[in-house]
């Protein structure tokens, strides 16, 4: 019945609409009535994305359903080639992902002779792609595929989804496929150019490069910033009754007062000497503060970063665990939150009814608004899923705490409180502002008191500066015309501050506000740009590395559109339109590639080579007076003389606070607490052409060396995993290759030479009982754990 492949259906108007219609007819579901109607029907198979959902689903679906997992994607573009036939309408070449043969075999065995297959990967674009590829693998005459969307893993939601299956969403798959092709075209065609011009192993990405540009641009704004001095003057005052309070000088002769320096502040203090302070005006007003909407993905990440100290990635990992199902007092696993990848603030009516009942019971009628709060979604919101909320507010954090880990409880409580608070009454604050005259000068004091806490009794945003008890100072009873006693005038010097560097929370906010990426991609973007060495997270703030600056500048010059925020945001909108069926994916790809191909051809000829001539800087070689250039070696960027090979001068460099390149001073040897594993002599830290390294102090008798990372870490770090070599009692620890790359080797080296590039994790494989798993990360699947046994193919995404 499948006359063509799914890829063919999505690639070519040359097949005509009837091919797509025929395929959908083949995949169309039978009526719910017929499916659920009699017990004479054979078993059905439900296929999910993550194996951690299987137990939860089996609990509620009963013996009529078998459940299997794809363990993420099973088919993708080939890893070692572009995999896109550009001249054939951007037709993708899908292949089975390495290690997934066993998974596909398991799925085929589970499907066997069953006619009804329920495809239930996650309800997003990636999940839709997994569903389509699974249908392609399991297609069989007479077999019907039903798309099932689990927005939450609770009994009612699971049974309702099974009872109301949908068709596979062609437009959603086309949108995912278009994104995948765009990312592949950019990544696989720009990255080799960076290998040729800069260094092997580098990569560029359609979205990640824009995030790096944002960080680099902010750093340059900070470097270009010139601080401006200004002064403030605060009066310590007292009325007829305590307490004393402070007021800040704001105006002179009814005009805003600017005090630029100490001399000006002293002149003001001289004017105020002996001045009479009097209350001129008191303004009282009542402010209503409305609750915030329930969490979207980005807002959840921002609040978890600020409040809990989580990373964006950790937030999504823990949220996935809460969604997929955890043990509870209800006897078995249950999903605690709705689907965690969403940009919508929509709430189901059943959830609103339940939370209003809880508010009335727990807080009282006075905290319950007459009508539920309805939050409007922003423009460009897909609204495919509800907001992130508890599946039931009756599962209170304290009551289920014993079933959750510390991190799971912290995140669940955050989601629970935000959701309950969003349906509580607004807070009411009484604010008082007092204007105080002192000759021609005006001082201002303010304070506020919470009259009714409302939602603030439960939840205050991490951005709020107002606590439930009030804000500002506690002001004494004051009246207009009242004379005040001035105890002290305090001048204080200040300087204007540059724009702040991006934290994880503020970068996610910036990406969201500019339409860069989507809820499911933010965590992966932040992880990728760090893993590639383009940025560092120092004291929770992003800073571009020198490599990041170099690659960013090269890409800006050669591919201005790729690093253009508006262009990238427009591309995201176009992908949304494909999903909505309003735009043809091939037309989008053709339009993009037309200009991209020209930029690519020009860059191949004109992009400056850091490997060859290097990037020129305004510095002269101290040995021959030729100009110096920035080049990149094994251990990072360094300065080299343009007169090479006649002059071999090299030197490391730093950038000063203004971003200008300065030569580093030659560093002498530094002692370390390490011992040479070859001869037992002390190891010392040295500075070489390719950066810092560790060398044996017995040189030249012993020539043992080891490169250092940019962070200077060189000590092997234990992984907690025993060496898998038979008969070896060693443990796997982190080490660095001569090129500075981290690998994991045995502590019994050189007696045992086992080594792996992948970080081992002390966790047993559920499929083949391998004593450990390894960390992996791909653009398609994101970070995850994988079995090191290539024949196994087991993957674990909940703990990625």
- The DSSP line for 702-716 is ---EEE--TT---S-
Check: CB of residue 10 under 8 Å from CB of residue 169.
no
Specify the length of the chain in residues: 800
| Cis peptide leading into residue 158 (ω within 30°) | no
The residues annotated with a catalytic role in the active site are 339
Distance CA 176, CA 125 (A): 5
- Sequence-distant (6+) residues with CB within 8 A of 188 are 82
Distances in Å between the alpha carbon of 684 and those of 306, 579, 692, 705? 40, 59, 11, 10
> Checking DSSP bridges between strand 670-675 and strand 661-663, what pairing results, if any?
unpaired
Helix 208-224 to helix 504-513 angle (10° resolution) is: 110
Q: Compute how many other C-beta atoms are within 10 angstroms of the C-beta atom of residue 188.
A: 17
- Sequence-distant (6+) residues with CB within 8 A of 674 are 682, 683, 694, 714, 715
Please state the three-class secondary structure of 528-568 as a single string: HHHHCCCEEEECCEEEECHHHHHHHHHHHHHCCCCCCHHHH
- Sequence-distant (6+) residues with CB within 8 A of 122 are 49, 130, 339, 341
Nearest to 415 by CA among 348, 320, 329, 319: 319
Nearest to 289 by CA among 427, 179, 392: 427
Distance CA 366, CA 124 (A): 39
Using DSSP, state whether 25 is helix, strand or coil.
helix
Nearest to 85 by CA among 689, 608, 586, 584: 586
H or E segment to which residue 723 belongs: none
Check: CB of residue 649 under 8 Å from CB of residue 621.
yes
């Amino acid at each position: 019945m499948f006359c063509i492949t799914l890829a063919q259906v999505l690639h070519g108007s040359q097949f005509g609409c009837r091919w797509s219609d025929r395929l959908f007819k083949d995949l169309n579901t039978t009526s719910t009535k017929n499916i659920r109607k009699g017990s004479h029907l054979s078993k059905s198979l439900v296929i999910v994305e993550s194996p951690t959902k299987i137990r939860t689903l089996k609990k509620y679906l009963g013996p009529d359903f078998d459940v299997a997992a794809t363990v993420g994607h099973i088919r993708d573009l080939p890893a070692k080639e572009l995999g896109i036939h550009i001249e054939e309408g951007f037709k993708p070449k899908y292949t089975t992902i390495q290690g997934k043969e066993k998974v596909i075999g398991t799925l085929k065995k589970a499907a066997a002779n069953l006619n009804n297959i329920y495809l239930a990967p996650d309800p997003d674009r990636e999940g839709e792609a997994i569903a389509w590829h699974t249908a392609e693998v399991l297609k069989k005459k007479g077999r019907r595929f039903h798309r099932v969307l689990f927005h939450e893993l609770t009994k009612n939601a699971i049974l309702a989804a099974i009872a109301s299956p949908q068709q596979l969403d062609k437009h959603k798959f086309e949108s995912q496929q278009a994104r995948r092709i765009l990312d592949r075209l950019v990544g696989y065609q720009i990255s080799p150019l960076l290998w040729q011009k800069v260094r092997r192993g580098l990569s560029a990405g359609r979205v990640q490069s824009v995030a790096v540009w944002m960080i680099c641009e902010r750093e340059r704004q900070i470097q270009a910033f010139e601080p401006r001095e200004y002064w403030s003057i605060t009066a310590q005052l007292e009325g007829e009754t305590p307490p004393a309070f402070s007021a800040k000088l704001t105006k002179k002769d009814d005009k805003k007062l600017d005090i630029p320096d100490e001399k000006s502040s002293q002149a003001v203090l001289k004017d105020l000497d002996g001045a009479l302070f009097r209350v001129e005006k008191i303004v009282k007003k009542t402010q209503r503060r409305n609750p915030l909407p329930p969490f979207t993905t980005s807002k959840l990440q921002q609040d978890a970063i600020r409040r809990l100290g989580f990373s964006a990635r950790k937030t999504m990992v823990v949220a996935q665990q809460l969604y997929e199902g955890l043990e509870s007092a209800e006897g078995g696993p249950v999903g605690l939150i709705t689907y965690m990848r969403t940009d919508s603030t929509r709430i189901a009516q059943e959830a609103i009814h339940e939370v209003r009942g809880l508010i009335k019971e727990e807080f009282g009628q006075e905290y319950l608004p007459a009508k539920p709060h309805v939050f409007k979604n922003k423009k460009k919101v897909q609204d495919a899923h509800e907001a992130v909320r508890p599946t039931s507010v009756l599962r209170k954090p304290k009551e289920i705490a014993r079933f959750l880990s510390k991190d799971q409880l912290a995140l669940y409580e955050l989601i629970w409180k935000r959701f309950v608070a969003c349906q509580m009454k607004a807070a009411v604050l009484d604010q008082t502002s007092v204007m105080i005259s002192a000759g021609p000068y005006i001082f201002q004091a303010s304070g506020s008191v919470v009259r009714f806490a409302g939602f603030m009794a439960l939840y205050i945003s991490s951005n709020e500066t107002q606590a439930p008890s009030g804000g500002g100072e506690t002001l004494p009873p004051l009246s207009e015309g009242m004379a005040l006693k001035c105890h002290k005038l305090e001048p204080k010097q200040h300087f204007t501050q540059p724009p702040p560097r991006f934290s994880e929370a503020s970068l996610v906010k910036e990406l969201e506000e500019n339409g860069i990426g989507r809820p499911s991609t933010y965590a992966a973007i932040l992880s990728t740009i760090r893993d590639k060495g383009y940025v560092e997270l120092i004291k929770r703030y992003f800073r571009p590395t020198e490599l990041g600056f170099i690659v960013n500048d090269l890409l800006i010059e050669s591919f201005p559109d790729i690093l253009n925020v508006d262009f990238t945001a427009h591309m995201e909108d176009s992908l949304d339109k494909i999903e909505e069926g309003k735009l043809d994916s091939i037309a989008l790809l053709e339009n993009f590639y037309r200009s991209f191909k020209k930029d690519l051809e020009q860059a191949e000829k004109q992009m400056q080579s850091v490997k060859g001539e290097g990037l020129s800087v305004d510095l002269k070689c101290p040995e021959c007076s030729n100009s110096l250039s920035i080049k990149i070696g094994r251990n990072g960027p360094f300065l080299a003389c343009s007169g090479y090979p006649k002059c071999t001068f090299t030197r490391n460099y730093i950038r000063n606070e203004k971003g200008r390149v300065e030569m580093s001073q030659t560093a002498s040897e530094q002692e370390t607490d390490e011992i040479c594993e070859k001869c037992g002599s002390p190891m010392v830290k040295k500075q070489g052409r390719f950066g810092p390294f560790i060398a044996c102090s017995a040189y030249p008798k012993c020539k043992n060396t080891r490169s250092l990372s940019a962070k200077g870490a060189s000590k092997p770090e234990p992984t907690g995993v025993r060496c898998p070599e038979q008969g070896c009692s060693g443990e796997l620890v982190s080490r660095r290759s001569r090129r500075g790359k981290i690998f994991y080797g045995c502590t019994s080296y050189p007696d045992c030479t086992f080594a792996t590039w992948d970080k081992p994790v002390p966790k047993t494989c559920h499929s083949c009982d391998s004593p450990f798993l390894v960390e992996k990360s791909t653009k398609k699947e994101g970070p995850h754990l994988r079995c090191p046994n290539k024949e196994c193919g087991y993957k674990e995404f909940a703990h990625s």
